[in-house]
Chains A and B, each alone.
Chain A
Amino acid sequence: MHEMAICLGIIQIVEEEVRHRSFSRVRSVCLEMGALSHAAPEAIRFCFAVVATRTVAEGAVLNIVELPGVAWCMSCSKSVEIARRGECCSCCGSYQLQVTAGEQMRVRELEID
């Protein structure tokens, strides 16, 4: 359940923003999550509600923008989208792929009062 630790990280970021800026309530939290990141959006949604309890983010709506995984194929020298690790290049079938995007887990923006 590293998703709990990840959600604690989200709450920590939100609380730091509360300290640096003057607002009292978070209406929504928008995350960016890559398809190749270390957590599944549905697990994050489940854990977020639990972790946000009795914090400034309690009751906040969680929006997750899911971003595709992208890899560079070393065989055919093309950039291709992959849904998960271990997939082959959709152009040439090679597994010689170097992931270039889709590993991120970021708090993109907050909607605040």
Chain B
Amino acid sequence: MCTVCGCTEGTPSTKRAKAHDAESHERYEVHVQDNCDRHCAHPHGDQGPQRSNHAGDSHSRHRGSARHQAHGGQALLSGGAGPAGLKVAGMGRERVIQIGRDILGKNNGIAADNRALFVADDLLVFNLLSSPGAGKTTLLVRGVSELKRSRPVGVIEGDQQTSNDAERIRAAGVPAIQVNTGKGCHLDAATIGEAYRRLPLLTGGILFIENVGNLICPAAFDLGEACKIVVLSITEGEDKPLKYPDMFAASSLMVINKIDLAPLLEFDLGKTIEYARRVNPKIDVLVVSARTGEGFGALYAWIDRQAGHQRRALEDTRR
């Protein structure tokens, strides 16, 4: 079955994506069906004609650009000097070379390229994070069903295995790509760049990236999103933000989900918000129920505000 649109024509196949960065993709497979007849009508494979700016396969293709040179050099804070040639007493031929490079510099560079591409495509991108079972997919299914009425919407789903989540999104009438990370515990920027090429163009719309359910690892990896959204369900306890502070520190919005269960639980909403703001005083907070739809109006309004911020920022840079 085609994992982009969910159609059943064509011979199923799982194709390892042409590596645009074989080194960082060894651990991932992006499941894609390329030989589906329907794709002629809505290109979302490699051959999407509008994708010429990002087709090909590779970030290495872009590497000649000023942007790539910039982020390649950016990590080299020592000014790109050759070996320092420092002789260390008693150490013979050894030399100490100062390199001063960001360990996540490569991922951050690709994330910067993704971000530039998303902005160029007038696309608002959110990276959804939570522990497993907080309700990210249920929240997305309800959200995209509404949002697709007013703008293009797409989803990249990250899970260790299965394409269940992408199928749920497609059933809501929205294109979705499933990325299986295998033994990986997070999505990275290169994987997202590749998955994005396989979605139809979403100009003027929204792309949701549902990260692997994990409150630790995905916090470290910029994907090129406009902002991170952390989903916390009230069954998880008030002190999750203190137990897993990196994720809440990295997020712009905390969505407190499953509020319809509040009468059954002793859940202190005020304390949860207080704890989240201890690790991130600027974090926005919304309270919803993905099951009943409570609070979704405020969520859509928040998304519209982010779209406005991105549009104004883009206009400012063009002036």
State the A residues within 8 Å of B (CB).
1-2, 5-6, 9-10, 12-13, 17, 21, 23, 27, 31, 38-39, 74, 84-86, 88, 95-99, 104-113
Q: State the majority secondary structure of interface residues on B.
A: mixed
With A6-B103, A13-B99, A31-B103 given, is the CB distance from A39 to B281 under 8 Å? no
The 8 closest A-B pairs by CB, nearest first: A38-B220, A2-B217, A85-B245, A95-B278, A105-B103, A9-B103, A85-B279, A86-B279
Q: Which residues of B contact A (CB under 8 A)?
A: 23, 82-83, 88, 91, 93-107, 184-186, 188, 216-217, 219-221, 241-242, 245-246, 249, 275, 277-279, 281
- In the complex formed, the residue of B with least CB distance to A10 is B103
Contact of B95 among A6, A9, A85, A111 (CB under 8 A): A111
A21 to B82, CA, bound (A): 7
A-B contact count (CB 8 A): 96
Pick 11 A–B contacts, CB within 8 A, sort by A: A5-B186, A9-B106, A9-B107, A13-B105, A95-B278, A95-B281, A105-B102, A109-B97, A111-B95, A113-B93, A113-B94
A5 x B188 contact (CB < 8 A) = yes
**Residue ID in chain A nearest B249 by CB atoms:** A85
Minimum Cβ distance to chain B for residue A32 (Å): 8
Cβ-defined partner of B104 (8 Å) among A6, A17, A108:
A6
In the assembled complex, the CB of B226 is this many whole angstroms from the nearest CB of chain A, namely 20
* Most chain B beta carbons < 10 A, residue from A1, A86, A95: A86
Q: List residues of chain B with CB within 8 A of the CB of A88.
A: 278
Cα of A23 to Cα of B23 in the assembled complex, Å: 22
Find chain B residues with CB under 8 A from A107 CB. 99-101, 103
Least CB distance from B216 to A in Å reads 7
Contacts of A95 in B (CB 8 A): 277-278, 281
Q: Give every chain A residue within 8 A of B216 (Cβ-Cβ).
A: 2
Contacts of B278 in A (CB 8 A): 86, 88, 95
A95 to B319, CA, bound (A): 38
A111 touches B88 (CB 8 A): yes
On whether the beta carbons of B103 and A110 are closer than 8 Å, the reply is no
